[in-house]
């Protein structure tokens, strides 16, 4: 049982700017928990970028921008830790014993991996695509996280992490807690094309977009021919995704938002959503702009976080090697 405050670990691939799916799917929850006194660790899994593309383009820029977004959303570096995967070599040592605890069949069954293969930019599927959920188990277990605030797509990965923790403990004696997924009230926000909003799919509304860019992205969103606006995610994903966005930003019920627009059609819906998003994000965007002007501070936050993550990972790796019979 954890004796101190619970620890939470979560993170985002450095593949592009954070978007509203992140904000309502997990970022909001992370900051709330941090402010309630939970210890928060954020991993930027840079090696995971090359699961579905050949090279990690603009890696440093994307990484720094993630830290900017975290800070703007309320991440407090005096209480919380942010680090990149590639700066913590012990994580890759944990990967090896963890790989021995799962079968190829289990890796192949993962529904999120299947979805990502369908959207992959690569013609062949790499070994990393199948094994990154195990890498992710190392990211979560190295710090013995109790809770992992994530969106819906991460649930199969977390199940695998729990399996690995359980099997390791059964085989070698108790080392790891079995972490729990923490889903927000919005575990799956749809993008402007009616499928999961993703950094890599060109369907997202970035937190750092300008109001005009936001308006243009929403104008291009997929809707349908029915002028009457309703909230019905199963049969009208495009329209309902937009209604949901406005509702989240205005903290209202989506059915009420839809009813108010009534027969106004897609144009009125898009005007409402644009106004709601731009109003909601204005304070965050103002803070964001300040951090962008002070990138040396942002880099310092990451350097300190990497140091701290390495210290934690070394302790866990020693414990793992001892439990396994003295690997060195």
Are 94 and 142 in contact by the 8 Å Cβ rule? The answer is yes
How many residues bind ligand ATP (CB under 6 A)? The answer is 21
Nearer to ligand ATP, 21 or 97 (CB): 21
Chosen residue from 8, 9, 17, 22 binding ligand ATP by CB under 6 A:
22
- Class of residue 240 by CB neighbours under 10 A (exposed 0-12, middle 13-18, buried 19+): buried
Are 158 and 148 in contact by the 8 Å Cβ rule? The answer is yes
Give, as ranges, the residues between 119 and 158 that touch ligand ATP (CB under 6 A): 150-151, 153-154
Pick the stretch among 11-19, 94-102, 281-289, 318-326 that binds ligand ATP (CB under 6 A): 11-19
Chosen residue from 7, 9, 17, 21 binding ligand ATP by CB under 6 A:
21
Give, as ranges, the residues between 251 and 290 that touch ligand ATP (CB under 6 A): none
Are 61 and 236 in contact by the 8 Å Cβ rule? The answer is no
Instruction: State how far the alpha carbon of 49 is from the alpha carbons of 14, 129, 142, 291, in Å.
Output: 7, 10, 20, 24
Other C-beta atoms closer than 10 Å to the C-beta of 54 total: 9
Nearer to ligand ATP, 93 or 154 (CB): 154
CB of 154 to ligand ATP, least distance (A): 4
Pick the stretch among 21-29, 101-109, 231-239, 300-308 that binds ligand ATP (CB under 6 A): 21-29
Give, as ranges, the residues between 159 and 218 that touch ligand ATP (CB under 6 A): 187-189, 196-201
What's the angle, vertex CA 7, arms to CA 4 and CA 10, rounded to 5? 175
Helix or strand holding residue 180 (H, E): strand 180-183
CA dist 125 and 159 (Å) reads 22
Decide if residue 84 touches ligand ATP (CB under 6 A): no
CB of 196 to ligand ATP, least distance (A): 5
CB of 140 to ligand ATP, least distance (A): 11
Strand, helix or coil at 81? strand
Decide if residue 25 touches ligand ATP (CB under 6 A): yes
How many whole angstroms from its chain centre is CA 266? 30
CB of 316 to ligand ATP, least distance (A): 22
Nearer to ligand ATP, 14 or 305 (CB): 14
- Class of residue 212 by CB neighbours under 10 A (exposed 0-12, middle 13-18, buried 19+): exposed
Decide if residue 29 touches ligand ATP (CB under 6 A): no
Nearer to ligand ATP, 129 or 298 (CB): 129
CB of 198 to ligand ATP, least distance (A): 3
CA dihedral 70→11→155→95, nearest 10 degrees, is -170
Chosen residue from 7, 8, 15, 132 binding ligand ATP by CB under 6 A:
15
Nearer to ligand ATP, 198 or 278 (CB): 198
Instruction: State how far the alpha carbon of 222 is from the alpha carbons of 115, 194, 210, 225, in Å.
Output: 21, 7, 21, 10
| Partners of 207 in the β-ladder | none
Binding residues (CB under 6 A) for ligand ATP: these are: 10, 12-13, 15, 21-22, 25-26, 150-151, 153-154, 187-189, 196-201
């Amino acid at each position: 049982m954890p004796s101190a405050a619970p620890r939470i670990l979560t993170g985002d691939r450095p593949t592009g700017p954070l978007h509203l799916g992140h904000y309502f799917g997990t970022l909001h929850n992370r900051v709330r928990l941090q402010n309630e006194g939970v210890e928060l660790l954020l991993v930027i899994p840079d090696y995971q970028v090359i699961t579905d593309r050949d090279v990690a383009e603009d890696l440093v820029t994307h990484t720094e921008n993630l830290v900017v977004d975290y800070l703007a959303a309320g991440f407090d570096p005096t209480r919380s830790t942010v680090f990149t995967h590639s700066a913590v070599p012990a994580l890759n040592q944990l990967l090896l014993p963890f790989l021995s605890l799962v079968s190829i069949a289990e890796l192949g069954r993962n529904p999120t991996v299947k979805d990502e293969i369908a959207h992959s930019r690569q013609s062949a599927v790499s070994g990393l695509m199948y094994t990154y959920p195990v890498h992710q188990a190392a990211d979560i277990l190295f710090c013995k996280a109790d809770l992992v605030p994530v969106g819906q797509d991460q649930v199969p990965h977390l199940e695998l992490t729990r399996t690995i923790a359980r099997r390791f403990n059964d085989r070698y004696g108790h080392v790891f807690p079995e972490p729990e997924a923490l889903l927000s009230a919005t575990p799956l926000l749809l993008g402007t094309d009616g499928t999961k909003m993703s950094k890599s799919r060109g369907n997202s509304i970035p937190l750092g977009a300008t109001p005009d860019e936001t308006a243009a992205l929403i104008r291009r969103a997929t809707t349908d021919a029915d002028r009457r606006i309703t909230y019905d995610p199963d049969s009208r994903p495009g329209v309902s995704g937009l209604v949901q966005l406005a509702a989240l930003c205005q903290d209202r019920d989506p059915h009420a938002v839809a009813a108010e627009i009534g027969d106004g059609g897609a144009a009125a819906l898009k005007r409402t959503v644009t106004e709601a998003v731009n109003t909601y994000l204005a304070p965050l965007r103002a803070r964001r702009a300040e951090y962008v002007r002070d990138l040396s501070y942002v880099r310092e936050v990451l350097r300190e976080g990497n140091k701290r993550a390495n210290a934690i990972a070394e302790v866990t790796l020693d414990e793992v090697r001892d439990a396994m019979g003295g690997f060195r």
